[in-house]
Structure formats: structure tokens, C-alpha cells
Chain A
Amino acid sequence: MDKLLEVKDLVVKFALRTGTLTALNGINFSLLPGERMGLVGESGAGKSVAGFSIINLISKPGFIAGGEVIFEGEDISKYNFEQMRSIRGNKISMIFQDPMMTLNPVLTIGTQMTETLLAHKQMSKEEATEIAIECLKKVYIPSPETRLKQYPHEFSGGMRQRIVIAISLLTTPKLIIADEPTTALDVTIQAEIMDLLLELCIKEKMGLILITHDLGVVSQTTQKIAVMYAGRIVEKGKTLDIITNPKHPYTQGLIKALPQTHKKGEKLYQIPGIMPNLNQIPSGCPFHPRCTFKKDICSQIEPSLKSVDKGEVACHLYA
């Protein structure tokens, strides 16, 4: 099957007055049509930057310094603003953590939905309204006809996120990039939203890139995972393989640190230290100062992703 998306050696830098920071240091991953992938990492790992850079939404002082983003056979990282607009919100949609980033508080959701459609497709207003109602039905919003006339503040947090998902569905995209879509929501609402996203991806055969720090959510919704650390992908593979048998010491630490994997009251496993700042990334393997298995080579040479078992790991332990 042809790949839907392929990210090759993508490098993103930030030009600050104190110097240039490398936020993404040559990441590689690909996605088949309808495939669901999780980008997992802690804050500062570069997972959001990775998501944004796919549709070139990196704002200054950040810029794409190298690599390719091949979407449906074309390198969209070199697209100009106009070309990019035909992709963004059309073939690739984005869902943010805060629904109010997407929703305009002074327009009714009906206006916002039809506007999105009219911007991308040639159709009449009536047709657009019909599609909007159709999409609201898909995300199980009751009485969508009346709901169209309401403003974002009249909806609860969970409902708003549903509407954002409905908006992203309008143009029947091939790929949805969801950046921490449920972090701001309650547990029961989170379950509902993830349920909905999963169902829609399967039904509409959409690809999904789920950016999150929550391993539990990822394990329930995705088929594969890329674990990020300090702007690099340190481990890639099938979701179940990584959750049950993580290879990289960082992934192992993340999973071992979860209370679920401990006996009650037992001291939790903890990864010592914190994620390094982008301007102080250690030499060699960026994880080596926190790693319990470090060898001499780890502080000297940065490991690259190599196939181990069914997945890929960037760690000298498997050399």
C-alpha cells in the first residue's frame, strides 16, 4: 500500500537571540492510509513541534531547516502559503488541546463550519449547512440543526471538543493530527472523545497522529507508537510490543513509573533527573545522564535508530 505520509529526516530549528536551538533533530516516520500512530513524550520532547511541522504551522522564530514531509506523494514541506492552505484543514486537519484555539468565540458554530467548507470546496451555502449537520450527527451532538445557531460558550468542554472534531471532519480529511485532544477533559469525557475519534478513524478510514503524554490513551487507540526524547525519536514500533516489551531505557522508565504497574503503596519507579533543555542537550545519547544502563560509548556517540526485534530503537544496548 502507498504511504499516506512520510516524514524524512525532518529538522526544525528555533533562531533565538542566545543562539539556534534544534527542536527536532532529524525525525523519520511514516503512516499508511487509515493508520493510527501515537507520538509519545514528555513536555519539551518535541512532539508538538513534530505535529505542527507536518503542516508547516511552525511560527517564528522556528523554521524547518531540513528534511521532507511527503504527503500523498508530494513534498509539502516546500509548499508556499497558498499551496499549504489547500492542504491544511482540508486534507489534513488538526485538533488542539484547547478547543477554543480552533473555535472563534464571536461566531456561531454554524458560521464557522460552513465557512471552513466554502473556503475549500465549491458549493452553495445550503449544501454546506447540510454537510455541517451531517458532521455534527457523526460526533453525536443531539439536535444539530438548533445547535448550529449557538456560540461556542454555550457548549461544555467535551461538547466543544466534539465540535472541533466535527469541523475537522467537514472536508473528509485523510489525516487528523490530534495534539493532546483530551488532556483538558475529565476522565469520563476523555473516554468518550477517544472512543469517538477511534470510531471515526475506522469508519472514515482516516489516518491519525495522536500526540500525547498519556501512555494509557495511546495504548487503547493506536496501532503504532513513536517515543520522543529531546527532539529525537528514540523508539518506534507496534503499540502492543512497546507497551508490553519496551526496549529503550527511557520507554521502560516511562512505563515502569506508572502507578498501575506497581503494587499498592510500593515506592514508584522513578527516572532520575529531568528532560534536558534544548540548549543543553548532552553529548552522545541525550538520555545518558538519566540512564541506569549507561556505558562509556553513550556519552560519546549518539545512537541511531536500528531494528531490534519487531521495532526500532536508538540505544547502544542493542548494538
Chain B
Amino acid sequence: MQKEQILEVQNVVKHFDISGGILDQLRFNKGKIYLEKKTVKALNGVSLTINKGETFSVVGESGCGKSTLGRTILGLYPPNKGQIFFKGNRIDNLSPKKMLPFRTKMQMIFQDPYASLNPRKTVRTTLEEPIRFHQPSLSKKEIKEKVEEIMAQVGVDPGWADRYPHEFSGGQRQRISIARALMVDPEFIVADEPISALDVSIQAQILNLLMEAQEKRNLSYLFITHDLSVVEHISSRVAVMYLGRICEMGPTENLFDSPRHPYTQALLSAIPKLGETGLKHIKLKGEVPTPIHLPSGCVFHLRCPHANERCKKEIPELITLDNQTQVACHGVEEKRI
């Protein structure tokens, strides 16, 4: 089967300057006054491609840059380096006006159902606004019909369109948030932890809704989450991120069946499993370093049980293995692990 690419990310770097004003940057050391810049190195050269109609998951722990990746792709943050292509068109350097046609093609679903809807707007206004903005030629009646159609699709009673977000439960708000994204008929959706703020029984409802919408509209998802059991269930391919780099990437089954990167192994072993008593996870030493001071060489070497001298100095590149997964690890390359 020929796979059509919808999104390509090439070597994207995103650093945030958090050093503040000139006065905050002033440092005094050994009789010298100098300015020190502090940057959060959120993304350090990330490349991936997403095919049409697939769910590509990005997993990792807080601070690994997965949310930044999603937001950079959508142009909420301009990347410092690298290129982003949507269906072959470069989009990372466009002016807001030139970006507009792509805005209808790429949408986002957010984590917090309480903060992602404007509390002062009714559901109808929230849903009508995007389509009025992008398709001003539509008549009032057409817009109204579209709102009702989409609301019914996501399972919210269209009769409730004139209510405010606070009158809905968390799950319903998330449905409305999905409806807002679907209003402009996108082809690609970034879903940033869309279910992690919801209750267990509601999570299943929202996941089903997302899968249904994908089937009906041939949507592609970039699914950002820390919940590995959800990833295993819904995604076709997965990328595991650590400190702004992809350490392992590949088809879901292959990656879950035989994780190669030591970090992926530790992450997978930490999933709490039903019906298993006691804990048998791989223990890592130390903690995730801050993305302000990245470790030299492989970003994971401080916590890695297999690290050697080379890992401390040389940054590993992604290498493709026999089972189509890509791993960035010297140990795997040298066949030590």
C-alpha cells in the first residue's frame, strides 16, 4: 500500500529564552560582570513524518518537549531551526495571512476541558466563530445547520447550543472542543493529552469518538500523551521522546513488543498492569535533568544502566533496525544491548 505523507518535520529545534530582562541576566563572577542567557531547550532536532489517515503518537514524560512539538507544528511557536511541511508545502516560515488556508487543514484538541473553551461564549458562538471566519460566504442558515450537524456527530445535544461551557461536564466539554476542531473540516489534528484530565469511563467515550471521526473523515492524528496503554491501543506508529529528542520511533506493535532503547524499556515496564500484583519495573537512577542544562552526548546517559564513555561524548543518531523501528542509542548500534 502506498502511503501518502501529510506532515513532515525536519530537524526542528525550539529553544525558549527564559532569561528575562537585562537586570535578571546580570551575573557577577570572579570580578567580571557579564550577561547570562537561560534557554529551555525544548526540542533539539526532531524529525518525523506522519502519513495520511494514521495516528502517530508521541509519548514521554513531562518536560520531554512533546507538547512543544505539537504546538510548533501548528505554528503556535516559530521553530528556531528546521522545517515543517504540510502536504509538501513548507509552513514554518509563512506570514499569518499566508498561513490561513492551512489553518483550516490543521487543528488542535487540548488537554484541559475547562480552560480550552472560552467561559464567556456560548457553545454556538464558539463553534460558529471558526467557520464564519474562514468561510464568510456561508449563510446564517448554512452555518446553523453545520453547527447542529457537528454537535450531533460528537454526541452533544444540538438543543444545548445556547448554553455556556460551565453548564457542561468535563467529558461533554471535551466533545465540544473536538467539535470546534472539526468545524473547519481539518485533515490533521494535534491532540494534546485529550483524555488525561477525564474520568476513566469518560476516557473510553472520548477515545471512541476520536477513532470514529478518524474513520469517517480519514483524519490524521498527532496524539500526544503519557498514557502508554492508550498509545498501544490507538496508534499505528509511536515516537518516544526524552529531553527534546526522539529516542525510539517505529510501528506500535514492534516498539511495544521489543523496545530497544533503555528508556523505552523502562517506560514500558512502568505501566501499571491489571491483575499483576507487586511491581516489577526497571528502576532508573536519578531524575530527568532540566532541559536548561542538557547532558552532553546522549541525553539519557546519566540515567542509563548501559552508558559508556562514548555515550557521554557523542550524540547518537537514529538508526533503522530490521523491524522498521528507529533507535538513537550507541548501545544498540554496537549490539551491546
Contacts and interface: CB of A to CB of B under 8 A. Distances in A.
Q: Do A and B bind each other?
A: yes
B29 interface: no
A217 B273 CA distance: 8
A258 B276 contact: no
Interface in A251-298: 253-255, 257-262, 264-271, 274-275
For A194, A255, A259, the residue with the greatest tally of chain B CB atoms inside 10 Å of its CB is A259
B267 interface: yes
Nearest to B303: A188
A186 B207 contact: no
A310 B278 CA distance: 22
Given A240-B275, A257-B200, A259-B233, A191 B270 contact: yes
Contacts of A274: 169, 171-172, 201-202
Contacts of A43: 199
A188 B275 contact: no
Interface in B261-289: 266-267, 269-279, 281, 283-284, 287-288
Contacts of A267: 208, 211
A269 B201 CA distance: 9
A274 B143 CA distance: 30
Contacts of B233: 259-260, 262, 264-266, 268
Contacts of A253: 201
Nearest to A182: B272
Given A258-B229, A267-B208, A268-B207, A220 B276 contact: yes
Contacts, number: 126
B287 A158 contact: yes
A253 B276 CA distance: 19
Interface stretch (A2-10, A121-129, A208-216): A208-216
Interface residues of A, number: 46
A20 to B, nearest CB: 23
Interface in B222-252: 226, 228-230, 232-234, 252
Interface string A46-85: 0000000000000000000000000000000000000000
A217 B278 CA distance: 10
B287 A270 contact: no
A187 B204 contact: no
B274 A195 contact: no
Contacts of A262: 233
Contacts of B270: 187-188, 190-191
B279 A260 contact: no
Given A158-B287, A243-B274, A259-B234, A195 B61 contact: no
A216 B270 CA distance: 11
Interface residues of B, number: 42
Contacts of B62: 186
A156 B272 CA distance: 22
Contact of A257 (B172, B203, B288): B203
A235 B274 CA distance: 17
B174 to A, nearest CB: 12
A192 interface: yes
A219 B274 contact: yes
A198 B276 CA distance: 14
A244 interface: yes
B258 interface: no
B274 A270 contact: no
Contact of A220 (B201, B266, B273, B283): B273
B163 to A, nearest CB: 16
Nearest to B263: A188
Given A186-B62, A187-B271, A219 B201 contact: no
Contacts of B269: 191
B259 to A, nearest CB: 13
A146 B171 CA distance: 46
A244 B171 contact: no
A255 B287 CA distance: 32
A213 B200 contact: yes
A190 B266 CA distance: 12
Contacts of B284: 188
Given A187-B226, A239-B277, A259-B230, 8 more contacts: A42-B200, A188-B284, A220-B272, A253-B201, A257-B203, A264-B252, A270-B205, A274-B171
Interface of B: 61-62, 169, 171-172, 199-205, 207-208, 211, 226, 228-230, 232-234, 252-253, 266-267, 269-279, 281, 283-284, 287-288
25 contacts: A187-B226, A187-B267, A188-B266, A189-B287, A191-B269, A192-B283, A194-B272, A213-B200, A220-B278, A221-B279, A240-B275, A243-B275, A253-B201, A257-B204, A259-B207, A260-B273, A264-B232, A264-B233, A264-B253, A268-B204, A269-B204, A270-B205, A271-B204, A274-B201, A274-B202
Interface of A: 42-43, 156, 158-159, 186-192, 194-195, 198, 213-217, 219-221, 239-240, 243-244, 253-255, 257-262, 264-271, 274-275
